[in-house]
Amino acid sequence: MNGKSLRGAYLLVGGKGLSAVIGLGSMLILARLLEPEDYGLVVLVEAVVTLLAAITELQMASVLIHLPRVDDAHFSTAWTLNLIRAFILCLLVILIAPALAGFYEDPRLLGIAYVSSLSLFLGALLNPKMAILIRDLDFKKEFLLGLSQKIAGFVVTVVAAYYLRNYWALVLGTLATQVCGLLVSYFCYPFKPAFTLSKWRELWGFSVWLSLANFIKTLNSKLDQFVVGKMFSTGTTGVYSLATRLSTVLFTDTLGAALRVISPSLRAHTNNQLAMNKAYLNTQSLVTLVFLPVASITSALSLPLIDLALGSKWAEVTDVFRVLVLALCLEAIGGVGLSVVMATLNTRLAFFRDLLSIAGRAALMAIGLYQGGFTGLLLGRAASSVLDLLLYFAIAGKVTGLSIREQLVLNWRTALSCVLVYPVLYALQTPPWFELGESKLIQALWLLTMISLGFLMQVGVQAFLWLASGRPNSIEVVFLSYIRQKFSAKGKTSP
C-alpha cells in the first residue's frame, strides 16, 4: 500500500482499536450489571432483524466507492433507495414481531423488535456522501463518526443498565448509536439529498450481486445464533452471543477497518497484474503476521482472561470464546482475498463464494450438533471458518491467478509458530499455586506475564524458522525494515 493508504489504515485501525477499548470496557461493566439471559433475548431479535436488513440491503456505499464517476444525482438516488428500503423494512419487522415472539415463546421479544425496527430506519438514513471519504482514503471524518457512535452507545447502555438492570439497556444503546451516527454523518459532510431515482439503473446494475452476496454473508454469520437460540436455553444463547461479541470487537472489527483501506488502494493496480499480485500477497502476509499470533495467544489464555474480565458468572464463555476468537480471525484474514475481488468489481464471484460458504457451514454445524450437541456445533462452526478461508483464497486466485496452495504456503512460518506456542501457553495459563479468583491482582500480573511470554516465544520461534528457511526476502524482512525506519525516524527527530 502507498503512504496515503498506510496513513488511512493507521487512522482507521487506531480508531477501531480505541472503539474496541470502549466496547470492551462496556462489556466488562455490563457483564456485572446484566445476566446471560439479557444478552440472549436481544441476540434472538438482533439475528432476525439483521437478516431482514441484509435481504433488502442495497450496498450503495460499496457501489459509490467503486464507480469511476459519481455526482450528486448518484448520492441522492442512493439516499432515496435506502429511504424506501428502510420504510418497507420497518413495516416488515413490525408485522413479523408477534410471530417471532411466538416462535421463541417469549413475549418480551415483541417490544425489543419494535424498538429495533426504529434503529434500522435511522441507520439507513446515514449520509451517502460518507462513501467519498473511503474512496479517497480520507479517514479522519470516518474516524470521528465511528468513535462518536461508540461513545454514545457506551454512555447510554451503561447508564441504562445501571438503572434498569435488564435487556433494555442493550436495545437503547443500539438506538443511541444510530441516532448519533445519523447526526454526525451530516455534520462531517454537509449534504442535502433530493428525493430522486434518476440513477437507479446504474447503481442497481452494480449493486445486485453485492446485495445478494451481503444477504448470504449475513445469513452465514447469524446461522449459528439462530440454531443456538432455538436449540438451547436463552442463557446459553447469551453466553454464545457475548463470546461472539468479544471476538468480533477484538479482531474482526479492527481487522475489518484495515480491509476497508485495502480495496480502494488496490484499484490503482487493476491494470497491472504483477503489481496487483504483489500488493495482495504483501497485505495478506502482513495481516496474518500481526493478527494470527494475537488471536492464538488470546485463545490459549482464555481462562484467566475471561475470569479476570467478566467474573465467574460468565465462566461458560471461556471455551466458546477460545474457539470463536480463532475462527473469526481466520475469516477476517480471508477477507483480504475479498478485497482483491471488490477492487476488480467481481461481485458475482463474491456472491457464489458466500453461497458455498453458507452451504458448508450449515452442513458442518448440523453434523456437529448431531454428533456432539452444543460442543459439536461449536466445533462445526470452527471447521467452517477453515472452509471460509479456503474459499476466500479460491476467489482471490480467480482474480490474481494464484493457487490456493501458493497463498497457504506463503504464511506457513507464522501458522507453525502459533501451533508450537499455543500448547505451552495453554498449559501455563493457570498457575498451580493459587485458584483463579482468589487474587485479581496476582491473576492480572500472571496474565500480563503470560501474554508477554507468548509474544516473545512467537517472535523467537518465527525467527528460528526464518533462519532455518535460508533467510528469504519475505514479510518478516519487510516488517522489520519498516520498524527500523520508524525507530530511526524517531531518533532523528528527537532532541
pLDDT in tens, 138-178: 667 777 777 888 899 999 999 999 999 899 999 999 899 98
For the residues 97-118, what does the mean pLDDT come to?
A: 89
For the residues 342-361, what does the mean pLDDT come to?
A: 81
For the residues 13-36, what does the mean pLDDT come to?
A: 76
Q: Check pLDDT > 90 for residue 314.
A: no
Q: Are 158 and 176 in contact (CB under 8 A)?
A: no
How many Å apart are CA 248 and CA 191, to the nearest integer? Answer: 32
Q: Are 216 and 355 in contact (CB under 8 A)?
A: yes
pLDDT of residue 331: 87
Of 98 and 130, the structure prediction assigns the larger pLDDT to 98
Q: How confident is the model at residue 374 (pLDDT cuts 50, 70, 90)?
A: very high
Q: Are 354 and 211 in contact (CB under 8 A)?
A: no
pLDDT digits (tens, 9 = 90+) for 467-481: 998 888 888 877 777
pLDDT of residue 236: 87
**Residue 476 CA: distances (Å) to CA of 287, 288, 410, 460, 469:** 12, 11, 11, 12, 12
Of 124 and 171, the structure prediction assigns the larger pLDDT to 171
pLDDT digits (tens, 9 = 90+) for 202-244: 666 555 666 666 677 777 777 888 788 878 888 888 888 888 8
- Closest CA relative to residue 255, chosen from 338, 312, 314, 131: 338
How many Å apart are CA 460 and CA 293, to the nearest integer? Answer: 12
Q: Check pLDDT > 80 for residue 1.
A: no
How many Å apart are CA 279 and CA 289, to the nearest integer? Answer: 15
For the residues 15-26, what does the mean pLDDT come to?
A: 73
Helices in 431-474 by DSSP H: which ranges?
440-468
pLDDT of residue 67: 63
- Closest CA relative to residue 142, chosen from 155, 157, 126, 130: 130
pLDDT of residue 262: 58
Q: Mean pLDDT lowest for which of 63-77, 120-134, 469-483?
A: 63-77
Of 378 and 209, the structure prediction assigns the larger pLDDT to 378
How many Å apart are CA 59 and CA 54, to the nearest integer? Answer: 9
Q: Are 99 and 158 in contact (CB under 8 A)?
A: no
pLDDT of residue 435: 55
How many Å apart are CA 320 and CA 299, to the nearest integer? Answer: 10
For the residues 332-341, what does the mean pLDDT come to?
A: 81
Q: Are 403 and 397 in contact (CB under 8 A)?
A: yes
Per the prediction, the chain carries an average pLDDT of: 80
pLDDT of residue 86: 83
Q: Check pLDDT > 50 for residue 2.
A: no
Q: Are 299 and 326 in contact (CB under 8 A)?
A: yes
Q: Are 305 and 243 in contact (CB under 8 A)?
A: no
